[in-house]
């Protein structure tokens, strides 16, 4: 019977006295260990993904308000529990239901607001006192975060004797620091007033 001779792989050299065809290439132990580690890591990742997938519960859609938690209502169009789908589901303080967001809000337009807070904020949908300085009166001419105040910057203080704005109290004062007092011996600022 004829013997099949297999040539040694390229790069493998036969020891002295051994025919090249008889050399068997052995895999490095380090390479084998690395391969095993990679396989173990891949198997572990697969197991983790399978566990996470099995634990994930599909979102349960509602069909009636009874499927929702207390104070929530079923939006039949989407099948999700929401804060409101109609005005009747909102409170006195926030009587209007925004059907786009399914959230209760204080107002939709200025008409919904009381005279003390006649403006409906377009972002927060809450009633505010002002949206610009033009909404405020002379006594409190500056609009700051929806409220009319005495001043928010020095430019709001138009009286000659009180040209500085105290941004903590939002009132116009004669001075804020000693450097504001430049009249003779009255060179010290105390509680917004220049004194000696």
| pLDDT reported for residue 77 | 93
pLDDT for 69: 94
pLDDT, mean over the chain: 87
Residue 79 domain-assigned (yes or no):
yes
Residue 140 and residue 196 in one domain: yes
Query: Do residues 96 and 114 lie in contact, with contact meaning Cβ atoms separated by under 8 Å?
Result: no
Tokens read off for 45: 């990742």
Is 36 a member of any domain? no
Q: How confident is the model at residue 23 (pLDDT cuts 50, 70, 90)?
A: very low
The pLDDT score that the predictor gives to residue 149 is 97
Residue 37 lies in a domain: no
Q: Which domain holds residue 143?
A: 136-196
Phi-psi region of 169 (alpha: psi -120 to 50; beta: other; left: phi over 0): alpha
- Tens digit of each residue's pLDDT (9 = 90 or more) over 46-84: 999 888 877 765 556 899 999 999 999 999 999 999 999
- CA within 13 Å, CB half, 61: 6
123-144 pLDDT, tens digit per residue, is 999 999 999 999 999 889 999 9
Q: Which two structure tokens, joined as six digits, stand for 172?
A: 């116009």
Do the domain assignments include residue 56?
no
Whether 90 and 145 map to the same domain: the answer is no
pTM for this predicted structure: 0.56
Domain count within the chain: 2
Q: pLDDT tens, 159-191?
A: 989 999 999 999 999 999 999 998 888 999 999
- pLDDT band at residue 10, thresholds of 50, 70 and 90? low
Residue 71 domain-assigned?
A: yes
CA distance 15 to 104: 87
φ and ψ at residue 135, rounded to 5 degrees:
-85, -10
pLDDT > 70: percent of the chain:
84
Q: Note whether 185 and 193 are within 8 A (CB).
A: no
The DSSP secondary-structure symbol of 59 reads P
- Report the pLDDT value the prediction gives residue 64, as an integer from 0 to 100: 95
Tokens of 134: 């033009």
Quick check: is 92 in a domain?
Answer: yes
- Residues 144, 183, single domain; the answer is yes
The Cα–Cα gap between 101 and 123 comes to: 13
The reply to whether 53 falls in a domain is: no
Position 21 in a domain: no
pLDDT in tens, 76-116: 999 999 999 999 999 999 999 999 999 999 999 999 999 99
């Amino acid at each position: 019977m004829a013997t099949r001779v297999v040539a040694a792989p390229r790069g493998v050299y036969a020891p002295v006295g051994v025919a090249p065809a008889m050399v068997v290439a052995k895999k490095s132990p380090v390479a084998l260990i690395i391969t095993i580690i990679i396989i173990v890591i891949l198997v572990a990742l697969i197991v983790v993904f399978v566990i996470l997938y099995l634990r994930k519960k599909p979102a349960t859609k509602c069909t009636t308000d009874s499927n929702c938690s207390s104070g929530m209502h079923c939006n039949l169009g989407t099948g999700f529990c929401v804060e409101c789908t109609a005005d009747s589901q909102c409170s006195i303080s926030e009587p209007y239901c925004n059907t786009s967001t399914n959230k209760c809000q204080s107002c939709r337009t200025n008409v919904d607001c009381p005279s003390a807070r006649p403006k409906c904020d377009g972002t927060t949908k809450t009633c505010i006192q002002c949206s610009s300085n033009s909404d405020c009166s002379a006594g409190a001419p500056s609009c700051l975060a929806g409220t009319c105040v005495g001043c928010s910057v020095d430019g709001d203080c138009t009286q000659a004797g009180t040209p500085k704005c105290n941004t903590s109290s939002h009132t116009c004062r004669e001075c804020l620091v000693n450097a504001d007092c430049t009249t003779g011996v009255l060179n010290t600022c105390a509680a917004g007033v220049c004194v000696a």
